[in-house]
Amino acid sequence: MRRPAPPLHRDDPKKEPLVGHVKVTREDWLNVARDILVSDGEAEVKVLTISTRLEVSRSSFYWYFKSHKHLLDALLDEWENWNTRLIREHCELPAPTITAAVCNFFRCFIDPARFDQGLDFAVREWARRDGKVRARIDRADSARLKDIAAMFARFDYSADEADARARILYFQQLGYHALEQTEALEDRMARLPHYLLGFTGRAHTGDECDALNDFARAVLAPPQE
């Protein structure tokens, strides 16, 4: 049914003879794919779009990646390894006080060369329509919370207290929206000690606006009785 392709000739003399043409690598495909993922979302990560931006033929893609799905998997691997490892490293930095340690944690997010917030949010959005991605997000969140809790535990907070403060810090960083999308995390937030609930934004029933007063105090101060 399928005829063999006719012989091909590079018969367009106007076309650059590839002199000085920088070779496209697997990394290039990944980088452009990641850019599109962050700026336009997973649905826009298309083989044709990337190949056009790289100015190579679409089919070259299949030399580097088995399929479109394998590219997306590679992006996910990259994201999970990089972002989660960065948080762990920042949490493990030596610090004289818990306040200094929390500041180290913040620095991880402030420097765009470190933690890639855009990528993290893009993956979170992706997870909304893909259960497997959601599972990886949840796993990554668990790992990160564990690392942050370990940071508090180094300064003699009890396991429970360290855990609660880790959730608050992480939530504050991700913002309300990320939490909305991550049911597993949301469930954990719902079980926070009552006196720490105020500034999570969940306790704003109208009578408790004042509860927001306690952000830094609640995170850094010793536990109440």
Partner DNA sequence: ACCTGTCTATACAAAAGTGTCCAATACTGT
Partner DNA sequence: ACAGTATTGGACACTTTTGTATAGACAGGT
Q: If binding is defined by CB under 7 A, does position 31 make contact with DNA?
A: no
Which of 23/194 has CB closer to DNA?
23
When binding is defined by CB under 7 A, the residue of 1, 27, 96, 225 that contacts DNA is 1
Q: Which of residues 16-45 bind a second copy (CB under 8 A)?
A: 39-41, 43-44
User: Angle 129-186-84 (CA atoms, 0-180°, nearest 5)?
Assistant: 75
Buried b (16+ CB within 10 A) or exposed e, 63-91: ebbeeeeebbebbbeebbeebbebbbebb
CB 133 within 8 A of CB 79: no
Q: How many chain residues interact with a second copy (CB under 8 A)?
A: 41
Q: If binding is defined by CB under 7 A, does position 13 make contact with DNA?
A: no
Q: Choose among a second copy, DNA, none what residue 132 binds, the Cβ cut-off being 5 to 8 Å by kind.
A: none
When binding is defined by CB under 7 A, the residue of 13, 14, 27, 63 that contacts DNA is 63
Spacing of C-alpha 26 from chain mean position = 22
CB 153 within 8 A of CB 159: yes
Please report how close the Cβ of residue 19 comes to DNA at its closest, in angstroms: 7
Half-sphere exposure of 136 (CA within 13 A, CB side): 20
The C-alpha atoms of residue 195 and residue 193 are separated, in whole angstroms, by: 6
Structure tokens at 49: 């779009």
Q: If binding is defined by CB under 8 A, does position 132 make contact with a second copy?
A: no
Residue for token pair 């089919």: 59
Please report how close the Cβ of residue 31 comes to DNA at its closest, in angstroms: 14
Q: If binding is defined by CB under 7 A, does position 191 make contact with DNA?
A: no
Q: Choose among DNA, a second copy, none what residue 195 binds, the Cβ cut-off being 5 to 8 Å by kind.
A: none
Q: Choose among a second copy, DNA, none what residue 59 binds, the Cβ cut-off being 5 to 8 Å by kind.
A: DNA
